[in-house]
Chains A and B, each alone.
Chain A
Amino acid sequence: MPGDSASGATLHTIVAVMSFLACLTLGAVLTLSRLAADWTEGLSGSVTVQLLPSPQISPEDQMKEALRLVQQWPGIFAAKPLGRAEAEKLLEPWLGEGNVIGDLPVPQLIEVTLTPGKPVELEGLGKALADGVPGAHLDDHKRWNEELASFAASSEAVGWAVLLLIGVATLAIVIYATQAGLQAHREIVEVVHMIGARDVFIASEFQRHFLWLGLRGGLIGLTLAIATLLGSSFFVDSREAPVGAQYMPQFVTAPQHYIWLFFVPVVIGLIAMYTARFTVLRVLGRMP
C-alpha cells in the first residue's frame, strides 16, 4: 500500500473523531454504572431509621429506645447507630466527597442490616417505631431503590445505544474508506493479482494498513478524550467552576475506567482491520 495520502489524512481525522466520541460515551456509561452501583449498594439489604429531634425525648433516650426496639424485631441481623461522619459519607453519592456543609442538620441515623433470605415485617417495624419512639421514622429505601434502578438502567441503556451507534458509524466509515482505497489503488491490486499474488496476500497488505490507520486515529481520539475528561475534572475542582459544580459526579474517576478507555482504539483498529480484509477478499473474489 502506498503511504499516507490526502484521503488518508482525512480518514485519520474521521477515525480520531469517532474514537473521541466513543471514549466520551464509554466514560459516561462507566460513570453511570458506578453511580448506580453506589446509589443502590447501600440501599439494598438494609433499612435506615431516622431520628428527628423531638421535644418529648432526649436524643440519647431516643437512640437507646429505637435501638432496643429494632434489635428485638424478628429478621434483623444488626442495628448500628451512625455517627455524624458516617452519616455524611452516606450523603456522598448525592453531594460529592467532602462536600457536606458543616451546619447541615443531619438527623441521627441507625443503619439496620436485614438477615439475608429472611422475610422481615418492615411495615410493622415502622409502625412500632412511630408509636414507641417520638421523632423516629423508618426508611425502607424501596421507592428510592426502584426509581434509582430504573433511572440507572435507562441511562445505561441510552449510553450503550449511543456507543453502538458510534460503532456502527465507525464500521460504515471504515467500509467506505476501504472500498475507496481499493478503487484508488485498483491498478496496484490488479497488477499484484496478475503477477500471482494470492488473495490473502493482497488482503493482508490492506488489513495491516487499515489496522495501523485505525490504531493511530483511535489513539489520537483517546488522547483528546482523556484530556477532555481530566480537563473537566480539573475545571470542576477549580475555583473558577460555577457554584454547585462541585456537587456534580465526576466522569471516570477510577483508574480501571481509564483502562477500559484504552480498549477503544484497539477495538477500532480491529474493526478497521477485519472490515478491510472482508472487503478486499470480496472485491478480489469477483476477479478471475
Chain B
Amino acid sequence: MVRFENVGMRYGLGPEILRDVSFTLEPGSFHLLTGPSGAGKTSLLKLIYLAERPSRGAIWMFDREIATTPREELPALRRRIGVVFQDFRLLDHLTVFENVALPRRVMNELESSYRAEVEELLSWVGLGNRLNAKPATLSGGEKQRVAIARAVVAKPELLLADEPTGNVDPDIGGRIMRLFIELNKLGTSVLIATHDQRIMERVPAQRLFRLAEGRLTTANAADAVLAEAKRA
C-alpha cells in the first residue's frame, strides 16, 4: 500500500529532515510512529499524504510511483487517505456537519447521498447533537472527534493521525484509540504519529516505527542491530 525507498526530504535549501527512510505499510496494518519532537514525524506524514515531495528516493502509494504520477491524478490518491491533523485544521466558517462532509463534497457527491452517513458518524463519535455548531464553540476533545470523523467519512484505505491524543484528556484519548482500532478491524490501515507512552504500551513492539534525527528504524530492526552488536 505504501512503500518508501531511501527517501530523503529537506525544506528548501535547509538541512535534511528525513534521511534514507525506507519502510512498507501493508493493507490492514496498524503502526505507530514515535520519536522525539522535531524528529520529522509530521514531515514523514506529509510525504505520505502527498502534501510534500521528497528531495530524493522513491515513494509508492497504492502501487503508483509518485514521482512519475501525473499531478492531476494525485487528488484521486489523496481521497484514499484520511488525515487527522495535529492541529485539527477544521474550517471555522463551516458547521460541524459541513466540516465532516467536506471530503464527500469535494468528490461532487450530492448531500442527499451522504447526509445520513455523516449524521450517523457524528453520533458514533458522540457529536450527534452538535451538527450545526461552529468549531469555535467546541472543546478540544470535540474538535478532535470532528477531525477524526472528517478523516474517516470517505472510508479511506489508509488513516494517518498526527498526535491524535495530544490535546485531549486520558479518557478521551482512550476512546479515540479504541476508535482507531475498530477502524483497523474494518480493514483500514492506520499509522499514528505519537509520543504518548500510554499508547505505545498498548501496541506490540513490531508495529512501532521509531524516528530519530531524520532516520527511521523499526523495533525489529533496532533489536537486530542490538543483537548484532552483542554478537560482535
Selected A-B contacts with CB under 8 Å, 14 pairs: A2-B92, A3-B93, A187-B89, A190-B51, A191-B89, A194-B49, A194-B51, A194-B78, A194-B83, A195-B78, A195-B102, A195-B106, A196-B75, A199-B72
Q: Mark A2-14, 1 if CB is under 8 A from B, else 0.
A: 1100000000000
One of B49, B74, B93, B150 near A2 (C-beta < 8 A): B93
Chain A residues contacting B71 (CB-CB under 8 Å) are: 288
One of B74, B103, B150 near A288 (C-beta < 8 A): B74
Q: Does B52 lie at the interface of the complex (its beta carbon under 8 Å from any beta carbon of A)?
A: yes
Q: Does A201 lie at the interface of the complex (its beta carbon under 8 Å from any beta carbon of B)?
A: yes
A195 contacts B76, CB within 8 Å? no
Number of chain B residues close to chain A: CB under 8 A: 24
Enumerate A197-213 residues with CB–CB distance to B below 8 Å.
197-199, 201
Chain A residues contacting B92 (CB-CB under 8 Å) are: 2
The CA-CA distance from A194 to B84 in the complex, in Å, is 11
Enumerate A268-285 residues with CB–CB distance to B below 8 Å.
none
B106 contacts A197, CB within 8 Å? yes
Q: Does A157 lie at the interface of the complex (its beta carbon under 8 Å from any beta carbon of B)?
A: no
Q: Which 6 A-B pairs have the closest CB atoms?
A: A196-B79, A197-B106, A2-B93, A196-B78, A195-B103, A196-B75
A198 with B75, Cβ < 8 A, contacts A2-B93, A191-B89, A191-B91 known: yes
Q: Which size class do A's interface residues fall under?
A: 10 to 19
The CA-CA distance from A199 to B72 in the complex, in Å, is 8
The CA-CA distance from A188 to B93 in the complex, in Å, is 10
The CA-CA distance from A187 to B103 in the complex, in Å, is 16
Q: Does A192 lie at the interface of the complex (its beta carbon under 8 Å from any beta carbon of B)?
A: yes
Chain B residues contacting A201 (CB-CB under 8 Å) are: 106, 108
Further contacts, 15 of them, CB under 8 A, given A195-B78, A196-B154: A3-B93, A192-B106, A194-B78, A194-B83, A195-B83, A195-B106, A196-B75, A196-B106, A197-B106, A198-B75, A198-B106, A288-B50, A288-B51, A288-B52, A288-B74
One of A3, A188, A194, A199 near B91 (C-beta < 8 A): A188
Interface centre among A2, A192, A194, A201 (most CB of B within 10 A): A194
Q: Does B19 lie at the interface of the complex (its beta carbon under 8 Å from any beta carbon of A)?
A: no
Distance in angstroms from B46 CB to nearest chain A CB is 9
The CA-CA distance from A187 to B53 in the complex, in Å, is 19
B75 contacts A197, CB within 8 Å? yes
User: How many pairs of A and B residues are in contact by the CB < 8 Å rule?
Assistant: 47
Chain A residues contacting B89 (CB-CB under 8 Å) are: 187, 190-191
Chain B residues contacting A199 (CB-CB under 8 Å) are: 72
The CA-CA distance from A191 to B82 in the complex, in Å, is 12
Q: Does B107 lie at the interface of the complex (its beta carbon under 8 Å from any beta carbon of A)?
A: yes
Distance in angstroms from B58 CB to nearest chain A CB is 15
Q: Mark A161-197, 1 if CB is under 8 A from B, else 0.
A: 0000000000000000000000000011011101111
Distance in angstroms from A233 CB to nearest chain B CB is 45
A288 contacts B53, CB within 8 Å? yes
Chain A residues contacting B79 (CB-CB under 8 Å) are: 195-196
Enumerate A204-262 residues with CB–CB distance to B below 8 Å.
none
One of B53, B91, B93, B107 near A196 (C-beta < 8 A): B107
The CA-CA distance from A191 to B89 in the complex, in Å, is 7
Chain B residues contacting A188 (CB-CB under 8 Å) are: 91
Distance in angstroms from B148 CB to nearest chain A CB is 13
Distance in angstroms from A193 CB to nearest chain B CB is 8
Q: Which residue of chain B has the shortest Cβ distance to A188 in the bound complex?
A: B91
The CA-CA distance from A2 to B135 in the complex, in Å, is 14
Enumerate B66-105 residues with CB–CB distance to A below 8 Å.
71-72, 74-76, 78-79, 83, 89, 91-93, 102-103
The CA-CA distance from A191 to B91 in the complex, in Å, is 8
Distance in angstroms from B211 CB to nearest chain A CB is 21
The CA-CA distance from A191 to B51 in the complex, in Å, is 10
The CA-CA distance from A198 to B70 in the complex, in Å, is 13
